Structure 1
Amino acid sequence: MCATPVSSSQIPSDPGTTAADCQPANSLIVVRWRGNEAYQTSFDAMREFTAARDANTSDEIWLVEHPPVFTLGQAGKPEHLLVENSGIPLVQIDRGGQITYHGPGQVVAYLLLDLRRRKLMVRELVTLIEDAVIETLAAYNLAGERKAGAPGIYVPQDASGASAAHTGAKVAALGLKIRNGCSYHGVSLNVSMDLNPFLAINPCGYAGLETVDMATLGVAASWRDVAATLAARLEANLAAHAATLLTVAEAAATDPSAEAAAVDPAAHAAPGGQPPQPQAGVAPAA
């Protein structure tokens, strides 16, 4: 069954997406190009989509570019907004993490996924998203790396070329909300934008953290090109995860011990020995 859009006018499908593409929701992902859209519109639509979905609803990735806006996470501290009356609206939202900025020239990918159906843990999803960003940057000959305890992607300390002047700077931010085993919110990748608004905040709660975009690192690429590359990498990584589960299931059909060997609950255990659950309310943005 194809997913029911929140509003046909609000969620225009990518010209390459047809009704035939809305196949069984357990594997295929519908990519929707929403274009330039007010943050509040996207936020309301994500929550409405997630509340209305059922077992047959297809998973979706929404690609969006927002007008200037600061967003503050569920437990965010307002003092991380350093400049009052900046002229940029501040929206309190329900993802994890502190404050960040969205604006023109930034690709935002929202992942509306049924994690239970995909047998995908929250930590696995974060890793999958970060991998997709690193792979997207690599497609433009840029390096990116993780930082322990700080979700997102950063310029490596040993970066060369134009990136060498911006080591440690953040190029992509990530934040999720999990409700009833389903995710929304997602990841933002800075392509070519006015970076000055980041100076008005402690990005993701880190005072003095430099924020950078791909243009500053020497890449001239269009918003749509980068968005398409990121969406393709997200789809590929999700498909690879699903294929791994299928392989395990096939092995278990012939050897019941294979599934236990391939899927070790201890590998997904959180501190204290309890595996993290998709129902956990928020995953941090950073």
Structure 2
Amino acid sequence: MKVIHLGRADYVPTWRAMQAFAARPFGMEGEELWLCEHPPVFTLGMAGRPEHVLAAGGIDVVQTDRGGQATYHGPGQVVAYPLINLGERPYFVKEYVHRLEEAVIRTLGEWGLPGHRVAGAPGIYIRLQDPYSHAPLPQRPMRRLPGTPAPQPDFTGLAKISALGIKVSRQHAYHGVALNVDMALEPFERINPCGHAGLPAIDLSSIGVRASWDEAASALAAHLTRLLAP
């Protein structure tokens, strides 16, 4: 997978470029991973509800074609967009999402920080009171009987450090995953992150991890490239 560093890139032109890339025929040999950070922007997924943006202020709100609800992108956040052909892989969308999350978990692990999954809520979370605890979360995803309803997400004692949202069209995937490195977190308070009221956001610097944007981007790209290989 070819890794492309876009630098600081406006959201809408980047999104349109992803759409154009995914619309053309390509196989494994044409896949790319785009890394960038965006100027401040709120985005809503396809089913995103405008009321989840509580107070946009002077920040643009973009209704996009990814899955999920409301999120925020801004300087100091690594955004990774794998542009891949899922038809070339022996797994489906659910496993793809799992691998995106796993790449973030392994990236955090390079700084000794455990990332956690929460049942019913894609993304990666950090314990607020004890961020370096490796103890399993009681609200982690667990096997359930077929036909039983998915659990309601429980964010007690947690903050979100990584959000994801994807789009798959004709087996071509785009959009991706964001990791908060060293950024202004206040804009997250102006939305219900991923549709969940009161869910706090956190970044690496708030935990005391001294990682530059380039270091985090390089680590995340390496893990994504490895985990998304066919």
TM-score strictly above 0.5: yes
Q: Judging changes above 3 Å, is the alpha-carbon distance between structure 1 residues 199 and 54 closer, same or farther for their aligned structure 2 residues?
A: same
Pick one of 161, 164, 168 that aligns with 1:174.
164
C-alpha distance in 2 between matches for 1:48 and 1:160: 40
Corresponding residue for 1:95? Answer: 66
Deviations 1:55-76 (A, max 9, x none): 4751111001000000011111
Deviations 1:246-266 (A, max 9, x none): xxxxxxxxxxxxxxxxxxxxx
Shift of 1:140: 1.0
Larger Rg: 1
1:113–1:182 contact (8 Å) kept in structure 2: yes
Shift of 1:120: 2.6
Corresponding residue for 2:196? Answer: 206
**Aligned residue type for 1:237:** L
Shift of 1:238: 2.0
C-alpha distance in 1 between matches for 2:177 and 2:187: 18
1:67–1:102 contact (8 Å) kept in structure 2: yes
Corresponding residue for 1:139? Answer: 110
Pick one of 58, 68, 83 that aligns with 2:30.
58
Shift of 1:141: 1.4
Query: Are 1:228 and 2:211 counterparts?
Result: no
User: Secondary structure, in 3 states, of the residue corresponding to 1:43?
Assistant: helix
C-alpha distance in 2 between matches for 1:50 and 1:138: 31
2:112–2:132 contact (8 Å) kept in structure 1: no
Query: Are 1:83 and 2:55 counterparts?
Result: yes
> How many aligned residue pairs are there?
209
Pick one of 122, 126, 132 that aligns with 1:151.
122
User: Secondary structure, in 3 states, of the residue corresponding to 2:183?
Assistant: coil
Corresponding residue for 2:18? Answer: 46
User: Secondary structure, in 3 states, of the residue corresponding to 1:119?
Assistant: coil
RMSD (Å), alpha carbons: 1.9
Q: Which runs of 5+ in 1 are unaligned?
A: 1-28, 243-286
Paired residues for 1:1-286 under 5 Å: 29-55=1-27, 58-84=30-56, 86-156=57-127, 159-160=130-131, 167-239=157-229, 242=230
1:143–1:159 contact (8 Å) kept in structure 2: no
**Aligned residue type for 1:51:** A
**Aligned residue type for 1:229:** A
